[in-house]
Amino acid sequence: MSATLSEATQASFVRHPIRLTLNGQMRELQVLPWTTLLDLLREQLDLVGSKKGCDHGQCGACTVLRDGKRINACLTLAVMCDGAQLTTVEGLAEGDQLHPMQQAFIKHDAFQCGYCTPGQICSAVGLANEGRARTPGQISEWMSGNLCRCGAYNNIRDAIEEALPLCQPELEQGGEQ
Amino acid sequence: MNPFQYSKPDTVQAAIDLSSPVSRFIAGGTNLLDLMKENLTRPEHLIDITGLPLADLSETPAGGVMIGALVSNADLAWHPWIERRYPLLSQAILAGASPQLRNMASTGGNLLQRTRCYYFYDASVPCNKREPGSGCPARDGLNRIHAIFGASEQCVATHPSDMCVALAALEAVVHVLGRGGARTIEFADFHRLPGDAPQRDNQLADDELITGIELPAAGFAEHSHYLKIRDRASYAFALVSVAVALELDGPVIRQARLALGGVAHKPWRDRAVESGLTGQTVSRETFTAAADALLQNAEPLAHNGFKVKLARRAIVRALSDAALGSAPSGGQA
Residues of A in contact with B34 (CB under 8 A): 56-57, 75
How does residue A171 score in pLDDT terms, banded at 50, 70 and 90? low
Measure the CA dihedral B316/B318/B324/B329, to 10°. Answer: 170
Separation of CA A32 from chain center = 21
Model confidence over A25-49: pLDDT tens digits? 999 999 999 999 999 999 999 999 9
Model confidence over B109-164: pLDDT tens digits? 999 999 999 999 999 999 999 999 999 999 999 999 999 999 999 999 999 999 99
Average pLDDT over residues B44-70: 98
How does residue A1 score in pLDDT terms, banded at 50, 70 and 90? very low
How does residue A175 score in pLDDT terms, banded at 50, 70 and 90? very low
Measured in degrees and rounded to the nearest 5, phi and psi for residue B248 equal: -115, 150
State pTM to two decimals.
Answer: 0.95
Q: Are A169 and A127 in contact (CB under 8 A)?
A: no
**Which of A12, A71, A146 is nearest residue B3 as measured by Cβ atoms?**
A12
Q: Are B122 and B86 in contact (CB under 8 A)?
A: no
Among candidates B65, B319, B302, B35, which has minimal Cα distance to B172? B65
End-to-end CA distance of chain B: 41
Look at residue A8 in the predicted model and tell me its pLDDT. 67
Model confidence over B28-46: pLDDT tens digits? 999 999 999 999 999 999 9
Look at residue A13 in the predicted model and tell me its pLDDT. 82
Q: Is any Cβ of chain B less than 8 angstroms from the Cβ of A133?
A: yes
Q: Are A131 and A169 in contact (CB under 8 A)?
A: yes
Whether A173 has a pLDDT exceeding 80, the answer reads no
Average pLDDT over residues B327-332: 48
Give dist(CA B225, CA B166) in Å, integer.
Answer: 9
Interchain contact, A8 vs B74, CB within 8 Å: no
Model confidence over A50-101: pLDDT tens digits? 999 999 999 999 999 999 999 999 999 999 999 999 999 999 999 999 999 9
Whether B333 has a pLDDT exceeding 60, the answer reads no
Interchain contact, B97 vs A71, CB within 8 Å: no
How does residue A4 score in pLDDT terms, banded at 50, 70 and 90? low
**Which of A33, A126, A137 is nearest residue B99 as measured by Cβ atoms?**
A126
Angle made by CA atoms B265, B271, B276, in degrees to the nearest 5: 140
Diameter of chain A measured on Cα atoms? 59
Look at residue B330 in the predicted model and tell me its pLDDT. 46
Give dist(CA A71, CA B231) in Å, integer.
Answer: 24
Q: Is any Cβ of chain A less than 8 angstroms from the Cβ of B324?
A: no
Q: Are A163 and A128 in contact (CB under 8 A)?
A: yes
Whether A2 has a pLDDT exceeding 80, the answer reads no
A56: left (phi over 0), alpha (psi -120 to 50) or beta: alpha
How does residue B327 score in pLDDT terms, banded at 50, 70 and 90? low
Task: Name the closest residue on chain A to residue B81, using Cα atoms.
Answer: A176
How does residue B277 score in pLDDT terms, banded at 50, 70 and 90? very high
Q: Is any Cβ of chain A less than 8 angstroms from the Cβ of B122?
A: no
Interchain contact, A55 vs B37, CB within 8 Å: yes
Give dist(CA B106, CA B309) in Å, integer.
Answer: 33
Residues of A in contact with B79 (CB under 8 A): 176
Residues above pLDDT 70, as percent of chain B: 98
Reported ipTM: the value is 0.95
Interchain contact, B75 vs A175, CB within 8 Å: yes
Distance from CA of B208 to the nearest CA of A (A): 22
Look at residue A174 in the predicted model and tell me its pLDDT. 39
Look at residue A168 in the predicted model and tell me its pLDDT. 77
Whether B83 has a pLDDT exceeding 70, the answer reads yes
Residues of B in contact with A76 (CB under 8 A): 29, 33, 104
**Which of A32, A66, A144 is nearest residue B98 as measured by Cβ atoms?**
A144
Neighbours of B230 (CB within 10 A): 16
Model confidence over A145-159: pLDDT tens digits? 999 999 999 999 999
**Chain A residues 69-108 with a CB less than 8 Å from chain B:** 69-72, 75-77, 79-80
Q: Is any Cβ of chain A less than 8 angstroms from the Cβ of B75?
A: yes
Angle made by CA atoms A110, A137, B243, in degrees to the nearest 5: 135
Give dist(CA A175, CA B12) in Å, integer.
Answer: 23
Task: Name the closest residue on chain B to residue A80, using Cα atoms.
Answer: B48
Give dist(CA B178, CA B22) in Å, integer.
Answer: 16
Interchain contact, A8 vs B44, CB within 8 Å: yes
- Give the HSE-up count for residue B227: Cα atoms under 13 Å, Cβ half-sphere: 22
